[in-house]
Amino acid sequence: MSTTIQLYGGRKIDIKTGLFINNEFRPSANGSVLTTPNPATGENLATISAATVEDVNAAVTAARTAFETTWGKKSTPSQRCSLINKWADLIEANIDSLAELESVDNGKPVWMARDVDIKDSIGCLRYYAGLADKIEGRTIEQEDGIKIAFTRAEPIGVCGQIIPWNYPIQMFMWKVAPALTAGNTVVIKPAEQTPLSALRLAELALEAEFPPGVLNVVNGTGAITGDAISRHMDIDKIAFTGSTVTGRKIMGAASKSNLKKVTLELGGKSPVVVFDSVDIDQTANWVCMAILFNHGQDCCAGSRLFCSRDDQG
């Protein structure tokens, strides 16, 4: 259940290829696989397990068990803080190989993956780890001697998360870090184009000694795996970054199941308004950079340039 990926500079890394469910890497229930391409060459990079509905069910069962027995209200803020910080330390210790893996699988430069995406992800983990013991309720003043009122913040439960391909590690952490900090358990589906770094992050979570079922990674297609997550009756919350078209499908599936909470990041990004006083050549450079970073993925409907000068295209 592993494959060897050739990295840059002659280095190699062994990556688990199974689904990560209940702290185990396992094949899909019916042997389904998907092949991720090398974006630089178009050649096949790795073949990994693709989750079926049955596999999603198993992941959700593991996440629910963990939520009710070892995580959620059964864990302490200090425990969650310690484990998340330990995970951040392991990612930092492996930052170079992770950056090269991200570059091979996603196509972005190694320096960008290392110095922007992964360093930000480590910071994201540590930020939320620091919040673990600061999730608090409040008391509400009432008439003396009649009643007392207070609020208590509690975890939602099992969170299904679906992320895009443009920032595989960063999007993973933006979704997972706050959910785990608050005591939720996670079933996450990476984009089928960039599944490898999530599997490596799962290995490091296992090394950090998260309890079984707290984090589950189910690679697969949106039509099967993503749809199964969206419709699942025992998932309490969905978080999705992607296209508006897919967001509508997720919202519809959630509404027809258990009315789970849904958070959607959809549509176009990086609109630019250009005024008459600008250096148009320099503006074009910056707009192209915005498009390079943000356009071309399915969650970005388009980066538009609105120019008030009639003579400029």
**Catalytic residue set:** 265
Could you tell me whether strands 2-6 and 12-16 are parallel, antiparallel, or unpaired per DSSP bridges?
antiparallel
Query: Please, is 251 exposed, middle or buried when counting C-beta atoms within 10 Å of its C-beta (0-12, 13-18, 19+)?
Result: middle
Of the candidates 195, 216, 173, the residue with the CA atom closest to the CA atom of residue 104: 195
- Residue 42 CA to residue 99 CA, distance in Å, equals 20
Instruction: Supply 44's token pair.
Output: 């096949």
b/e sequence 229-242, b meaning 16+ C-beta within 10 Å: bbbbebbbbbbbbb
Number of helices (H), then strands (E), belonging to the chain: the values are 10, 15
Cα dihedral across residues 120, 126, 129, 131: positive or negative: negative
Residues 228, 56: contact at Cβ < 8 Å? yes
> Phi, psi at residue 24, to the nearest 5°?
-135, 145
Of the candidates 4, 58, 7, 49, the residue with the CA atom closest to the CA atom of residue 28: 49
Q: Where are the alpha helices (DSSP H) in 256-305?
A: 280-294
Instruction: Supply 171's token pair.
Output: 């999007």
Segment holding 187, helix H or strand E: strand 185-189
Give Cα separations from 256 to 52, 223, 296 (angstroms): 20, 17, 31
Q: Where are the alpha helices (DSSP H) in 73-150?
A: 77-93, 95-106, 110-112, 119-131
